[in-house]
Structure 1
Amino acid sequence: METTEDLLLDGRVRLIQPKDGYRAAIDPVLLAASVAARAGERVVDLGCGAGAVFACIGARVPGVELIGVERDPEMAGLARRTLAVNGFDGRIETADLTALPATWEAGLIDHVSANPPYLPSERGRPSPNPGRAAAGVETGGDLADWVAVARRCLRHKGTLTLVHRADRLDDILAALVRGFGSVVVFPLFPKAGRDAGRVLVRAVRGGRAPLRLASGLVLHGADGAYTAVTETILRGAPLDL
């Protein structure tokens, strides 16, 4: 696989990723910024790909333990390289998340992040590129399976944070009914006055607070450039949901 080394968070993160196929854009950076991790805690990134999400978390929160789960052996190898070049503490599990045993990290994880495939198999038209196809359309496990794995490995009051398409919000909330509460929905608007295309969703294992719909974030100004707030997040600031 031909690769490139790219920089995230204003050069603080080095990401080894495929030259062709799925490449990290803004979604994993926003997801990482919204994970409320602290030093000494353990974070699992499901479907970690080349490691953009956990690398951004590791750069923002020194002292976290990072665990990635990736079913594609080549992408898992890139994630290990990303860990190594950044000097982060962690490991990568090469496994399909639906094949993880029920005892895997059961109740031991503080935070789970995930950027699941955006479309169910019946709605998606997979890309001819295998990497893009796996990232874009559900194959094997569906959204409920991703949430179920997070529920098993999270400790009580641990958090699950997802980035997903806004039009899948009903599926996300349905999957969170069992075991999660204190849900926050944070819309991501491409421009002011436009409908949200993406949402960040955070849920708490065993949480009991009612759902909260946050004001969200406008990503681009009228000129197409990132807004000032978005720029600070892309440079490493946390995103408080």
Structure 2
Amino acid sequence: MSAGTEARMDAIEIQPRLADMARRSVEINGLQEQITVIREDLREYAKTAGNGIYDAITVNPPYMPVTAGDQNVNEHYAIARHEIHCTIEDIASACCRLLRPGGKLFMVHRPSRMLDIVETMRRYRLEPKRIQFVHPNTRSEANMILIEATRDGKPDIRLLPPIMVYNDEGVQIV
């Protein structure tokens, strides 16, 4: 990129403590001109920010429904890991409003939720385009999934080669 054309990014965080940590990190790294941390509930954000304002959105939402597994006693961890304030449906709805037509949504999630994610994205005009599984090593099943979707895209999905984090000797390769 040439000078003055750096991408601008907004980071939306519902938890005040984590939003403050993110703001401090942005300042420490001198990125205030590029990154704005906004303490907001994603479900309400489009009402104040407007529709179709983003070219791309990256999300790493809570992985587990409220009813799944034991919730951490630490409120901050529980909110980050369980769908207490934000479900897959909330994410898809908000992203549909916030993305311009043709805009991209990039999601990191758990493979066990893949069908829920794809079904929900499609209900909100977010067409999954590329899916890639992340495996700890060649002997383990995937523990993460990367999904790219396009707002108002046509049906056409590609399954990309898997990513292996460690080789068979336990040496990190990614």
The TM-score, its normalising length taken from structure 1, stands at 0.66
User: Are 2:46 and 2:98, in contact at CA under 8 Å, matched by a contact in 1?
Assistant: no
State whether structure 2 residue 18 is matched by structure 1 residue 75: yes
Counterpart code for 1:133: A
> Structure 1, unaligned stretches of length 5 or more?
1-37, 41-61, 231-241
State whether structure 2 residue 30 is matched by structure 1 residue 87: yes
State whether structure 2 residue 135 is matched by structure 1 residue 189: yes
The alpha-carbon deviation at position 159 of structure 1 amounts to: 0.5
Q: Aligned Cα RMSD in Å?
A: 1.9
Partners of 1:197 and 1:126 lie apart in 2 by: 19
The alpha-carbon deviation at position 131 of structure 1 amounts to: 2.0
> Structure 2, unaligned stretches of length 5 or more?
none
Describe the SS at the equivalent of 2:165.
strand
Partners of 1:116 and 1:159 lie apart in 2 by: 16
Of the three residues 176, 180, 194, the one matched with 2:121 is 176
State whether structure 2 residue 109 is matched by structure 1 residue 161: no
Partners of 1:151 and 1:217 lie apart in 2 by: 28
**CA deviation map 1:148-206 (0-9, x unaligned):** 11111111111000100010001110111131225211000111132111100000111
The alpha-carbon deviation at position 209 of structure 1 amounts to: 4.3
**CA deviation map 1:205-234 (0-9, x unaligned):** 11114111111211111222212xx1xxxx
State whether structure 2 residue 68 is matched by structure 1 residue 123: yes
Describe the SS at the equivalent of 2:129.
strand
Counterpart code for 1:84: E
Shift of the 72–103 alpha-carbon distance from structure 1 to 2, 3 Å rule, reads: closer
User: Are 1:187 and 1:198, in contact at CA under 8 Å, matched by a contact in 2?
Assistant: yes
The match for 1:30 is: none
Please show how residues 1-241 of structure 1 align to structure 2 within 5 Å: 63-88=6-31, 89-102=34-47, 104-177=49-122, 178-227=124-173, 230=174
User: Are 1:39 and 1:64, in contact at CA under 8 Å, matched by a contact in 2?
Assistant: no
Partners of 2:2 and 2:90 lie apart in 1 by: 29
Shift of the 107–145 alpha-carbon distance from structure 1 to 2, 3 Å rule, reads: same
Describe the SS at the equivalent of 1:163.
strand
The alpha-carbon deviation at position 140 of structure 1 amounts to: 2.9
| 4+ runs deviating over 3 angstroms | none
Shift of the 199–39 alpha-carbon distance from structure 1 to 2, 3 Å rule, reads: farther
The alignment of Structure 1 onto Structure 2 pairs a total of residues equal to 170
The alpha-carbon deviation at position 102 of structure 1 amounts to: 3.3
**CA deviation map 1:84-113 (0-9, x unaligned):** 122222212111212324352410101100
The TM-score, its normalising length taken from structure 2, stands at 0.89
Counterpart code for 1:71: I
Partners of 2:89 and 2:155 lie apart in 1 by: 21
